[in-house]
Amino acid sequence: MKVKRRKAALWVSVVCVLGLVCGLAACAPNAEKAGRADQKATDKPIAQKVESVPETDSFGVVDADAWKDYYPNQYETYEQNNENGTEGKHDYLQLYPALNTMYKGYAFALGYDEAHGHTHALESVKNTPRTVKKDQLANCITCKTPQFTALVNSEGDEVYKKSFKELINDFDEPISCYNCHENDPAQLKVTNTFYLASLGNDVDNYAKAPLESQVCGQCHNEYYFDPATKVPANPYSGTDAMTPDAILAYYDSMNFSDWNHADTMAPMIKVQHPEFETIYGGDSTRMAKIGYTCADCHMGTQEASDGTMYSSHNWISPLENDELIDSDCSRCHADLKSEIAGIQSEEEERVTAISEKIESMTSKIASQYADEIAQLKATKDAGGTMNPSEGLAKMWKYQRDAQFYWDFVMVENSEGAHNPTLTFDTLDKAEKLVDEALALLD
């Protein structure tokens, strides 16, 4: 469904991740560590601590530009994220008309563009029709700029309740160093304090999901806004509860909904971007068990001209990084080296097949789901058997659950690479619910 994987060679860019996730038993360096979640398969270089910290802005944030002379290699690669801009991005509402029916009555029906790069996140949230055409709270700025994060950390959760339009133009720093390091690039830190409760109190969860992944997970997660406080919150505590089934049960237990569908009035849930849950939820993926983190695959280790080793801060898919392929991925997937020469590898063929199946399933289910909504609306409007005390409530549940499972896959940004087994299982559940609803409506 997502056009992101339709870009030239983008399906290739997930091969390294996908091949390992799919369960090659002898895979990855230090494979003997498999099952020992407290140890990493690879080690990332740690930036040297500086003696004096550059001046902060009015929010208490040292912006990325201020660090460029201290960490020139990291800064140079960070700036490369600007290349992932607006050019060639798709408007999903035009490309897939079914979404206009599926999201009807919610802000995503006003505008839903393909995501831009991290350094464009602040401008994107300023300009999306979801905030331009509809009044929103400041909590929509979460994860779009470290300045908002610092403001919350200094003034408290009441910031989340403020007006989006009143605050948004105060910020000018996109996602940058502070988000993952605060003002000390030699450390990693989860700066979004709301996310600190997500792993619970069990130390095993922190061994299973290392800090190198938590700093990414603090934004790449499924969340909701607390109805009373408007503070972002996660619908789970601990990795065992980070599965689609458990998350849906959590929302049901609190009678939570993001909106009521405009045609049917069903109480709906809009999933966000559950990358962290897809990797670490439940039993977790093979890659996570081996010890690979988000940083290992998306921030390859590079060597500067003076021999200094550093982590690239250009956040890209693994197979867009030839150095990572050569030094890491190809240890287990030797044929990946042939991709550099333009020869399609066996791994590429396998990923292509999986990606195309996911594409076909999501598209098919979206079309069927739109039909379900149309039929449910017609039955409700005609005053048929779907009255609020009987059939309508049941049909609402079908609509809500099918949307949740489908959306969980649609908005997860790996196109199945992070966890293909979970991806297909979740789509199967969505399709079954749609089929059952359509059978009752016929």
CB 18 within 8 A of CB 348: no
* pLDDT score at 115: 84
* pLDDT score at 42: 52
Length of the chain, in residues = 442
CB 93 within 8 A of CB 129: no
Token couple for 63: 């912006």
- Indicate if the pLDDT at residue 104 is higher than 80: yes
C-alpha to C-alpha distance for 122 and 126, rounded to whole angstroms: 6
Alpha helices in 236-345 (DSSP H): 244-253, 275-280, 286-290, 294-298, 322-327, 337-340
Q: Are strands 301-303 and 267-268 parallel, antiparallel or unpaired?
A: unpaired
Tokens 């500067």 locate to 304
CB within 8 Å of 336: residues ≥ 6 apart: 15, 16, 319, 325, 329, 330, 345, 347
C-alpha to C-alpha distance for 241 and 14, rounded to whole angstroms: 26
Tokens 């005609």 locate to 382
pTM exceeding 0.85: yes
Which three-class secondary structure state does DSSP give residue 237?
coil
C-alpha to C-alpha distance for 223 and 154, rounded to whole angstroms: 22
Mean pLDDT of all residues belonging to the chain: 86
Using left for φ > 0, alpha for ψ between -120 and 50, and beta otherwise, residue 284 falls in left
CB 17 within 8 A of CB 297: yes
Which three-class secondary structure state does DSSP give residue 119?
helix
| Higher per-residue pLDDT: 88 or 13 | 88
Band of the pLDDT at 24, cuts 50, 70, 90?
Answer: very low
DSSP state, residue 386 = -
CA-CA distances (angstroms) from residue 5 to 114, 305, 367, 397?
A: 11, 34, 19, 31
CB 150 within 8 A of CB 60: yes
Q: Are strands 224-225 and 309-311 parallel, antiparallel or unpaired?
A: unpaired
pLDDT per residue as tens digits for the range 180-198: 999 999 999 999 999 999 9
Token couple for 203: 């130390």
pLDDT per residue as tens digits for the range 40-64: 445 788 888 888 999 999 999 999 9
C-alpha to C-alpha distance for 29 and 49, rounded to whole angstroms: 29
**Packed helices 391-410 and 244-253: angle between N→C axes, nearest 10 degrees:** 140
Question: Looking at this protein, which amino acid is placed at residue 128?
Answer: T
Tokens 């990946």 locate to 336
Band of the pLDDT at 26, cuts 50, 70, 90?
Answer: very low
* pLDDT score at 1: 42
| Higher per-residue pLDDT: 380 or 249 | 249
Among 26-35, 144-153, 349-358, 424-433, the range scoring the smallest mean pLDDT is 26-35
* pLDDT score at 334: 67
Which three-class secondary structure state does DSSP give residue 439?
helix
CB within 8 Å of 385: residues ≥ 6 apart: 379, 391
pLDDT per residue as tens digits for the range 272-292: 999 999 999 999 998 899 899
Tokens 């839903």 locate to 112
C-alpha to C-alpha distance for 22 and 37, rounded to whole angstroms: 18
CB 418 within 8 A of CB 358: no
DSSP state, residue 56 = P
First CA to last CA across the chain, in angstroms?
A: 26
Alpha helices in 103-193 (DSSP H): 121-127, 129-132, 146-155, 164-167, 177-181
Token couple for 194: 């709301």
* pLDDT score at 386: 60
> Which domains does the chain carry?
3-441 (1.10.1130.10)
pLDDT per residue as tens digits for the range 120-154: 999 999 999 999 999 999 999 999 999 999 999 99
Token couple for 398: 């079908």
DSSP state, residue 407 = H
